[in-house]
């Protein structure tokens, strides 16, 4: 199991995310944005010591560059509009997988994140063709 796959598995376990968990509200966190909660868990693990076990904290911290790239390009709408719409439509399960894929791609800065999202855009358009 790769580091990104382990990240996705632990994040889903941390928030109780299943394959059918909706983005907007769940049985556990009513009325909340699960995408924002996933991103907040990464930020909290990075900025605050002791919120999670050491192993989980190290795993979540490894996704911090992916979080920065996601916030800059997806939440900041710098990426292609169709890609942004596609990613905003992902389920929480799929978002965990996407962030895990970014961890496995060794994203270490926002520029590498931009290249990653450009590759994702090309894949999305290739699927549509």
Round to whole Å and give the CA distance between 4 and 121: 20
pLDDT digits (tens, 9 = 90+) for 22-50: 888 666 666 788 999 999 999 999 999 98
With tokens 């929480």, the residue in question is 92
User: Do residues 46 and 60 lie in contact, with contact meaning Cβ atoms separated by under 8 Å?
Assistant: yes
Q: Does an H or E element contain 7, and which?
A: helix 3-15
The closest of 62, 88, 94, 61 to 73, measured between CA atoms, is 88
Percent of the chain at pLDDT exceeding 70: 95
Q: 31 or 116, which is more confident?
A: 116
Domain range annotation of the chain: 3-128
The closest of 76, 80, 68 to 113, measured between CA atoms, is 68
Torsion 32-35-36-39 (CA) sign: positive
Round to whole Å and give the CA distance between 115 and 25: 32
What is the mean pLDDT of the segment spanning 116-128? 94
pLDDT digits (tens, 9 = 90+) for 72-101: 999 999 999 999 999 999 999 999 999 999
pLDDT the model gives residue 29: 63
Reported pTM: 0.91
């Amino acid at each position: 199991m790769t580091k990104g796959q382990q990240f996705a598995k632990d994040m889903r376990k941390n928030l109780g995310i299943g394959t059918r968990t909706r983005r907007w509200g769940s049985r556990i966190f009513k009325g909340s944005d699960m995408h924002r909660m996933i991103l907040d868990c990464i930020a909290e693990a990075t900025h605050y010591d002791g919120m999670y076990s050491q192993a989980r904290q190290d795993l979540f911290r490894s996704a911090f560059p992916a979080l920065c790239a996601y916030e800059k390009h997806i939440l900041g709408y710098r990426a292609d509009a169709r890609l942004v719409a596609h990613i905003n439509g992902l389920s929480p399960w799929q978002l965990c997988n996407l962030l895990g894929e970014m961890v496995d791609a060794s994203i270490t800065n926002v520029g590498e994140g931009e290249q990653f999202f450009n590759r994702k855009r090309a894949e999305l358009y290739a699927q549509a063709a």
